[in-house]
Amino acid sequence: IGARHTRLSQIINAYAPTAHGGTVPMVFHQNSASAEGVALALGMTIDALDGHDGFNPAKGHIGCPVISGLLALALEHQHSTPVSGKDFLDALIVGYEVGARVAIVQHATVPDYHTSGSWGAVAVAAAGAYFLKLDETVTRHALGIAEYHGPRSQMMRCIDHPTMLKDGSGWGAMCGVSALHLAQAGFTGAPAVTVEQDRPDIWQDFGERWYLKEQYYKPYPVCRWAQAPIEAALSLKTTHAIDAKDISEIEIATFHESRRLATQCPETTEEAQYSTSFPTAIALKYGTISPDHLTGDALHDPEVLRLSASMTFVEDAYANSAFPLRRYAKVKLTMQSGEVHQSDWHEPKWDHTSPPTAKELYTKFKQLADPEIGEQHAHDLKMAIAAMDENPFSILADLLTQ
């Protein structure tokens, strides 16, 4: 909802009904498209704000492709087959559990770091196969098609050159939905290597260890790798009542991937989100980071740009050794007076080991949703989601497609 007015979302929501025409209603958009088009547009829109949940071992986001693909399938079938909210939630759990394990396996078998869309395509196919009650043979082929055609896109390329390509989740969601439709039509593609290779260490606890409960949430709509420096900087700002204009120099010690978010003077929303220095500068000036800080005239805020340009980075061996399961950073501020403030090691907020409260999550939801769709519509959405296990999916669908 919060990403609807980004340039990325506007482009993809205009493209999807033209290139992927169909009768499935698009989410929070007046047009319709095929299920593939709906999944593509929704996945890219979620990525456009970069405020979603994530999974540390995957270095990515399961929910973005899985929810996008599964919503598209549920909207496609809601009139032809009765769809219950519980069926949708059960399939969503399957998507998270398969997605977590496939991501871990894939990262162990490739030399470079691939986007969430690559393994997310397989997760969408798994969730969709469960939701559509496909038999074992068709399911195997759907997983294999999704894995083979999933966007094996290199994430660090988009880190070094931030663009609207982002984390590949929209393309992965589209691929997963396409794989299901192809497999149902008789197209073959089995096996999916990441699923069927002999890895009992990954799969033997399926249904016992729930990776769905090990996801983090983002308090700010920027790359997770930038959020440990943000928390370290905010701790100093709060403890010492620091005014941003009094800061002369900033030094950040952190892990390699966070240092690679190197855009200090962003020209686009994507460059601002894939930066460590710019969001940290925003936090030091405003005490928080909202979507409005990452677009339009806010990209040219002279005080934020001064602070961003004043940052230097130190790649730290301790922080590197902890990544990706832990993301550490510490910050040193040198004041105009010469006084120096040094933080301890900090991690991002809202990891699964220290999760947000229900109230904190709802506050985040309201801050993003209320200005876009109104307080009543947002409240109705919350109530529909809370009661999904008891109601038909159509109640949520109506609210998503008004």
pLDDT tens digit string along 369-393? 999 999 999 999 999 999 999 999 9
What average pLDDT does range 136-162 have in this prediction? 95
Q: Mean pLDDT throughout 165-178?
A: 97
Q: How confident is the model at residue 64 (pLDDT cuts 50, 70, 90)?
A: very high
d(CA 45, CA 289): 19
Predicted pLDDT at 22: 97
Give the CA radius of gyration of the chain. Answer: 21
Condensed to tens digits (0 to 9), the pLDDT of residues 268-296 reads 999 999 999 999 999 999 999 999 999 99
Q: At residue 167, does pLDDT exceed 90?
A: yes
pTM for this predicted structure = 0.96
% of the chain at pLDDT higher than 70 = 100
- Model pLDDT for residues 85-135, shown as the tens digit of each residue: 999 999 999 999 999 999 999 999 888 889 999 999 999 999 999 999 999
Note the helical H segments in 110-240.
116-132, 136-149, 155-160, 169-184, 193-196, 200-203, 227-239
CB atoms near residue 86 (< 10 Å): 14
When pLDDT is cut at 50, 70 and 90, the band that residue 75 belongs to is: very high
Burial of 79 (0-12, 13-18, 19+ CB in 10 A): exposed
Distance in angstroms (rounded) separating the CA atoms of residues 113 and 152: 9
Alpha helix positions (H), 287-374: 302-309, 317-322, 358-373
